[in-house]
Chain A
């Protein structure tokens, strides 16, 4: 009995051992078979999923923390073709909610492209619409009989961010826009596109939750803080719109800058677009230069240029404020007779009178005395013919013809002195004139105040583009311009504040000839004269109510300056001087 039991045990052990051995052999065989490589490869395909992690685009704020460009969640709505149960229900629900064509959706679900298991029905759907569909899907699932699937099974929602502009069209020319492909165009969005968008990270994400730690950290795009003051921007746009109506102008721009450091506080353009509907770009703008006229549309600035001609003359020692000359109403230069704006002689004038009455003959006279070499050296130092480097996409430089150029003629020296035959953008003019307002130091205009990355804020320092004239020249000229405005009781004057500035009226060339009925009117001014805190440039294109800058651009400047001193809390001169005295 005992031996029999032992034999049975041995037999059973042998059988089990053989089975175990067979299993091990089989496992080893399978592990090392040719198919194992294929299976391993297939498993590897499912072990990881290639995912792209897109960073959120950096936000854009104004200098006081008002959000100008942010992100909102929108949804991609699609259908999982493997799990969809009722294509009719899906097509009906989506077409009703999103106002889409029922048959088109149904056809897309029933006849998908070969090899696809998921199709996109609609993208960039507002959160509320997606929420309504999600609720409907949930309700249908709850109503479905136990063990069955709801009618909208297979309908899927994928959230992703989309650029959003809470201020709609405000400062649209400064901000620019982002397309649905995520690329920035114009303004800040275009200039700082790489910084704002950040870097997408593409990684193989393991489907094994054990390896969840491999999910990478995606650094969001850099957040930017602009120098723009939202309220001042709003006021500038309102004033510009009103001025276009009042004076019948076809276009224009108003720009406000801090002349001490080049910070752009406001930049209004006559054509603006709701940035949330960027697809209307082609409807609103005929040319890209119209998006932000202050930086991308050079024009002949006219008499505002006389500030710089006079600066060159004073700084080079050609004239002093008291230098007098006899204005005969016309002067011959390069074989062409140049006349004053009123074609009248103004008799004996000093340099203040020359600026006050905006005498072309005076400018031609002193430029002739200065010589072309000195004059163009100064104009080059003021930055004409070059880009200002303002940090916005789309800047264009104007043209300054100089001796030696094929199309430069001696008469150009005369016409350039009063701002004709030379083109510049309002931004270039502001940059050049900032040297007069800022004690001889020319600032580089910029719109970026700071950037925030990794929780740290980097403030952008002010940059200067040299000193084309001395401090003494700048101070003298500021005083001359202030006196000339006060003497003529200019419409640009602002009660309580001493202002320096100059009007400009430039005829527009039509078919090769200047048309006296069509002008660009401008005004550049800054204040308070003894401590300049703002500089304003006004440009009105082809005003129909009056062709003169003194009657159109000057009052617009005054209106803008009044708003500026209120919004920037700049007290009237007598109060400020009392504060300084204390």
Chain B
């Protein structure tokens, strides 16, 4: 086999119609696969975001519910320990109001009169959802939309 014949065959192979077709099909498939991957990725991210969003809604509802339950229980406890309830319970147990001449004062070293009620720091500061950076909750489309909007705004 001489060299010109080999070159001829190689050239024929390269320009064969089926090979060009296959390259087109390959390129198209690659584009389709790329698109599918992007779509799949988008779906995964979106579904995760949706699940997280739903969980946030559920947790927000749970917080509200817990606060309601806490408020209810606090009010019930206050009712059970109200002045009239405590007085009647004390009377049932055989106690009676103390008279002033029955009081005996003792000096207790180091004792100081308690200060009025302190309620501070009963609640921690809540993290506001609105302060979360957009990178953590922005979808791809949201991001693209924002970029397009901002570029239009620049022009």
B130:A166 contact, CB within 8 angstroms: no
Picked from B69, B82, B129, the residue with its CB within 8 Å of the CB of A215 is B129
**Cβ of A65 and Cβ of B78 under 8 Å apart?**
no
When distances are taken between beta carbons in the complex, the residues of chain A under 8 Å from B74 are 59, 67, 70
User: What are 12 A-B contacts defined by CB distance under 8 Å?
Assistant: A65-B119, A166-B82, A209-B53, A209-B54, A211-B53, A212-B53, A216-B129, A230-B83, A449-B117, A455-B125, A456-B121, A582-B107
Question: Taking beta carbons and an 8 Å cutoff, which residues of B are in contact with A?
Answer: 46, 49-50, 52-54, 56-57, 60, 67-69, 71-72, 74-79, 81-84, 87, 98-101, 103, 105, 107, 113, 116-126, 128-130, 132, 137, 139
B82 near A71 with CB under 8 A, answer no
A452–B118 alpha-carbon span in the complex (Å)? 9
Known pairs A73-B72, A210-B139; A457 contacts B78 (CB<8 A): no
- In the complex, A574 Cα to B139 Cα: how many Å? 78
Q: Which one of A176-184, A387-395, A561-569 is at the B interface?
A: A561-569
* A80 at the B interface (CB under 8 A): no
Question: With the chains together, A64 CA to B113 CA distance in Å?
Answer: 12
Report which residue of B56, B78, B122 has the largest number of chain A beta carbons within 10 angstroms of its beta carbon. B78
Q: Whose C-beta in chain A lies nearest to the C-beta of B119? A: A452
B56 (CB) vs chain A CBs: closest residue = A212
Q: For A213, what are the chain B residues with a Cβ–Cβ distance below 8 Å?
A: 53, 56, 129-130, 132, 137
Looking at the complex, which one of B52, B60, B71, B87 makes contact with A234 (CB distance below 8 Å)?
B87
CB distance from A272 to the nearest CB of B (A): 12
A48 to chain B, nearest CB (A): 14
Interface residue A125 (Cβ < 8 Å from any Cβ of B)? no
Interface size class of A (residues with CB under 8 A): 35 or more
B105 touches A572 (CB 8 A): yes
Residues of chain B within 8 A of A384, CB atoms compared? none
Which residues of A are found within 8 Å of B124, using beta-carbon distances? 455
CA distance A234 to B50 in the complex (A): 55
B68 contacts A73, C-beta separation under 8 Å: yes
A63-B71 contact, Cβ under 8 Å, with A209-B57, A455-B121:
no
Q: Give the interface SS of chain A, mostly helix, strand, loop or mixed.
A: mixed
Partner of A575, one of B54, B76, B105, B139: B105
Q: Point out the residue from A72, A215, A225, A562 that lies within 8 Å of B119, measured CB to CB.
A: A225
- Tell me, yes or no, whether A8 is within 8 Å of chain B by CB: no
Contact B100 A565 (CB under 8 A): yes
Known: A67-B78, A209-B57, A213-B56. A225 touches B117 (CB 8 A): yes
User: Using Cβ atoms and an 8 Å threshold, which residues of chain A touch B60?
Assistant: 212, 215
Whole-angstrom distance between the alpha carbons of A161 and B75 in the complex? 12
User: Which A-chain residue is minimally distant from B64 (CB atoms)?
Assistant: A159
Contacts of B116 on A, CB cut-off 8 Å?
63-64, 225, 227, 449-450
Which residues of chain B come closer than 8 Å to A168, judged between CB atoms? Answer: 82, 84
Chain B: CB-nearest residue to A53: B64
A75 to chain B, nearest CB (A): 11
Name the B residues within 8 Å of A571 (CB-CB): 105
Known A-B contacts A70-B74, A71-B75, A234-B83; A562 and B120 likewise in contact (beta carbons under 8 Å): no
Please state if B130 and A70 are interface contacts (CB–CB under 8 Å). no
Contact of B75 among A64, A70, A496, A566 (CB under 8 A): A70
Minimum CB–CB distance from B132 to chain A (whole Å) comes to 6
Assuming the A-B contacts A170-B82, A566-B98, A566-B103, are A72 and B67 also in contact, with contact meaning beta carbons closer than 8 angstroms in the complex?
no
Residue of A65, A71, A164, A209 with most chain B CB atoms under a 10 A cut-off: A209
| Top-9 shortest CB links A-B | A166-B78, A457-B120, A212-B53, A65-B117, A67-B78, A209-B53, A234-B83, A63-B116, A166-B79
Given contacts A455-B123, A579-B107, contact A569 B72 (CB under 8 A): no
**Does any Cβ of B come within 8 Å of A495's Cβ?**
yes
Confirm or deny: A167 has a beta carbon within 8 angstroms of a beta carbon on chain B: yes
Docked pose: A208 CA to B87 CA in angstroms: 55
Taking CB as reference atom, which chain A residue is nearest B47? A210
C-alpha spacing A236/B16, complex, angstroms: 109
How far is B111's CA from A571's CA once the two chains are assembled, in angstroms?
A: 14
Specify which chain A residues have a CB less than 8 angstroms from the CB of B84 in the assembled complex. Answer: 167-168, 170, 234
Q: Is A286 an interface residue (CB 8 A)?
A: no
Residues of B within 8 A of A56 (CB): 67, 71
